[in-house]
Structure 1
Amino acid sequence: MEITGVTWGVTIAVIIGLIFFDYFFHVRKAHIPTLKEAALWSAIYVGIALAFGLVFFAFGDTDHAIEYYAGFITEKALSVDNLFVFMIILTSFNVPRQYQQKVLLFGIAFALISRTIFILAGAAILEVWTDAFYIFGIFLLILAGQQLKSEFSSADEAGSEADNFMVRLARKILPVSEQYDGDKLITKVDGKRLVTPMLLVMVAIGATDIIFAIDSIPAIYGLTQEPYIVFTANAFALLGLRQLYFLIDGLLDRLVYLGYGLAAILGFIGVKLMLHALSQNNLPFIYDGQDVPVAEPSTGMSLLVIVGILILTIVWSLASPRGKALRALQNAEKFAHRYSQLAEDTSVEERKEAAEKMDYWTQQAEATEHRYLEELIKHKDQWSAIIRIAHETRLEDANHRGMPAVTSQKIVTTDGPVLAPDTNGKSSEESKGSNLND
């Protein structure tokens, strides 16, 4: 398939057009996307990406088409990991949900720019120095190890590593307001012009995008060396992430073993790159500078391995008791926090709906097995306080608005939530005491 300047120009114009369409028809007017809206547009963007692969079948060849699909699936999986970090950043900055779309679209646009730079740089390096595949392969193997290591640290720590420096620098240089002013980046307080926390969020997202670009570009160059395929696979994987964020908000928490799956994919591609480097070896200290006769996984085999790892990871995560426990604990905190942040003018119906979700997940959290509490909650007092404060707010609402609050009454009365006791050789009272005092 011949890639001309016109082909590049038309493709880039289509990508930019889709971003502008997303902004003017979905993001410009602040709102929280419904599940139906998020599902519909996620399906549309995935459909566009899959349909684009048919272009390679029509005007190229089967190998290029398979390379595109393998690259798209890999980048989509890595982009889901992006979403998890975006979620941490948005939560830590308390970004109102109706304004999160704007932040996410900025993150997607910035990611496209940063990844395009890395794609062009990678292509230039590989054009003049084929032994760079050794470096890319070793780099991906190191990343796979770091991904595994990160599974043993908290998600908050993983997110802070990506954005803290840039955010601290921005805070030092720029005067920052304490409160958001809608989705504005600049506001006036007492006659002084200040930047809002929204700008800091975008700085954090941008810094994270650069980190993920460094991860993802070597990975896809392990599947194809055609810059056009690398670019389009990245672009179509990033488009639709905004809708996907709201569609799988909550499901991300269930994918507790996604990190292991991504580590396996990065490791597999790292090994594939090393084998490819050996087959085109020029290093004099390896096999006397001659090509090493090694078997490389085919593009079709690579696609099957990547899809197989993702399916196994998702099924393992969703079916595991640990995944269900984590979802209960995190959703209990999430919906409690959302209830606490309800505006004064929120209707009674909306408050009831929010309260029902909070009650349900609080009850699920209280029923979680003790061994998962020990493993998944690092700061029980802080976790319990967030939920208890929300239920105290609920009791105030009940008094003022006549809303039922049986669960909240129980939690506040018992200084709860009361977590599952450790029955391993202890009485219920001893276990209850040890949980609350951790």
Structure 2
Amino acid sequence: MEVSPTVWILTVVVIVGMLAFDYVFHVRKAHEPTLREAAVWSAIYVGIALVFGVFVLIAWGGNYAGEYYAGYITEKALSVDNLFVFLIIIASFKVPREDQQKVLLFGITFALIARTALIFVGAGLISQFAWVFYLFGLILLLTAGSLIKGELSGGEKDESDNLVTRLAKRFMHTTDYYDGDKLFTWDNGKRMMTPMLLVMVAIGGTDILFALDSIPAIFGLTQQTYLVFTAVAFSLLGLRQLYFLIDGLLDRLIYLSWGLAIILAFIGVKLVLQALKENTLPFINDGEHVTVVEISTGLSLTVIIGVLVLTVLASLYSPKGRALRIIGGVQTIAQQYVELPQDAPAAQREKLAAKGARLREKMDSISPRYRDELIKSEEHFHDLLDRARGKHREFQRTGTAPAPERVPDDQADAVAKPRED
């Protein structure tokens, strides 16, 4: 696959321009994106990535287009999984909702820089040493095993407490409060770091770890540096908008880690087979190439899409996924009701109340096992429901709207994060 310097330059300019557009027009003024804004821009970024695949098809043929799409879908799935970790970090540092865009965009920019560096390092190693495929395959197989082990153990790692963050806390004074979206502020005459910089350091540190899994995965699908770079770049662009679009759905993808483990293991096996096919190590088959089964691009694309579809369907429609939808829905409706403004229309109150009543009826069908697992604090959960019911009864009795209230964070988080299963 021959890619001219002009095409490379134009591609880099477009990608940098898209990033610059985000910084100038989307995050310069702190705000929380609306659902419509997130949906429109997510569709635009995905559309650009799909159209680029058509360009690859026209310029270099169907095989390379298939490799690009397989790489893009895999990297996009891994990026969604990374959003879980970003969510944990952002929640740990209690980043204000309106400032989360800037944190996410920094994470995306840092990830793009780190992965671009690893892409060219990986490409250079592969061109010189065929045995690197063994190493990449082993990394992916170990990563898949780690994902499965984490799901089976149910352990939760504090992603916000990595080595880089600990060093920053040790050598730099940090305030206990945010000063807008500033990275530094003055406190008692001293220049100090704000938690905003600290959360960016935490996300930057985890981005480096993500790159170690991401790059071997896509090299297992294509060894064309241009396709690797563009698939990674387009999968990261638009991730900020996707975060706000599927924020409420992230916790419901309870089997995503299992699906990613299967995909990474599949690509790991593919890399090992590729290494055997090009083997030069003297202690394997006397340094001769090994005849192995070849996994086509079409098969890779089918496996990746199939596993992701099954993972999403299982997450949403399995007994546990259904229980999570009902419990999460009940909590969301109750929280929305107690926070309604006093001038909210009666029709809106009745609609929320009716929807909440239907969901509460469905809770009787939930297995006690899932209720105990997904509701970490019965007291807070039922207190929230009681307040919502009480406010609606007061409205029905008096015809006047009760004063709105803000649900405390500990009650808003009463439903457990499903990745703790």
After TM superposition, give the deviation of residue 25 of structure 1 in Å: 1.5
Q: 1:39-438, aligned counterparts within 5 Å?
A: 39-154=39-154, 157-158=156-157, 160-161=158-159, 163-329=161-327, 348=342, 360=356, 368-377=366-375, 380-381=376-377, 384-385=379-380, 388=383, 403-404=401-402
Off by >4 Å, runs of 4+ in structure 1:
327-340, 346-350, 359-368, 383-396, 405-408
After TM superposition, give the deviation of residue 292 of structure 1 in Å: 0.9
After TM superposition, give the deviation of residue 99 of structure 1 in Å: 0.9
Q: Does the alignment pair 1:4 with 2:36?
A: no
Give per-residue Cα distances to partners, 1:339-367, cap 9 Å, x unaligned: 99x9xxx96468x999x69x949958975
How many Å separate the matches in 1 of 2:27 and 2:319? Answer: 37
SS in 2 for 1:193: strand
How many Å separate the matches in 2 of 1:17 and 1:248? Answer: 25
Q: Is the 8 A contact 1:329 1:365 kept in 2?
A: no
User: What's the counterpart of residue 430 of structure 1?
Assistant: none
Give per-residue Cα distances to partners, 1:220-274, cap 9 Å, x unaligned: 0000111111110000000010111111111111111111100000000000001
Q: Is the 8 A contact 1:279 1:291 kept in 2?
A: yes
Structure 1 gaps, min length 5: 409-414, 420-438
Give per-residue Cα distances to partners, 1:184-213, cap 9 Å, x unaligned: 111222332221111111111111111110
Q: Is the 8 A contact 2:341 2:403 kept in 1?
A: no
User: What's the counterpart of residue 423 of structure 1?
Assistant: none
Larger mean CA deviation between 55-64 and 113-122 belongs to 55-64
SS in 2 for 1:250: helix
Q: 1:78 to 1:143 in 2, by over 3 A?
A: same
SS in 1 for 2:162: helix
Q: Is the 8 A contact 1:89 1:201 kept in 2?
A: yes
Q: 1:349 to 1:103 in 2, by over 3 A?
A: farther
Q: Is the 8 A contact 2:331 2:385 kept in 1?
A: no
- Aligned Cα RMSD in Å? 3.6
After TM superposition, give the deviation of residue 307 of structure 1 in Å: 0.5
Q: Residue 239 of structure 1 aligns to which amino acid in structure 2?
A: L
Give % identity.
Answer: 54
Q: Residue 103 of structure 1 aligns to which amino acid in structure 2?
A: V
After TM superposition, give the deviation of residue 332 of structure 1 in Å: 6.8
Q: Residue 101 of structure 2 aligns to which amino acid in structure 1?
A: Q
SS in 2 for 1:144: helix
Q: Is the 8 A contact 2:254 2:321 kept in 1?
A: yes
Q: 1:50 to 1:292 in 2, by over 3 A?
A: same
* Larger RCO, structure (CA 8 Å, separation 6 or more): 2
Q: Is the 8 A contact 1:220 1:230 kept in 2?
A: yes
After TM superposition, give the deviation of residue 74 of structure 1 in Å: 0.4
How many Å separate the matches in 2 of 1:317 and 1:84? Answer: 15
SS in 2 for 1:152: helix
How many Å separate the matches in 1 of 2:176 and 2:25? Answer: 30
How many Å separate the matches in 1 of 2:194 and 2:337? Answer: 24
Q: 1:418 to 1:300 in 2, by over 3 A?
A: closer
Q: 1:148 to 1:349 in 2, by over 3 A?
A: farther
Count matched residues.
398
TM-score (norm 2): 0.84
After TM superposition, give the deviation of residue 289 of structure 1 in Å: 1.5
Q: Residue 200 of structure 2 aligns to which amino acid in structure 1?
A: M
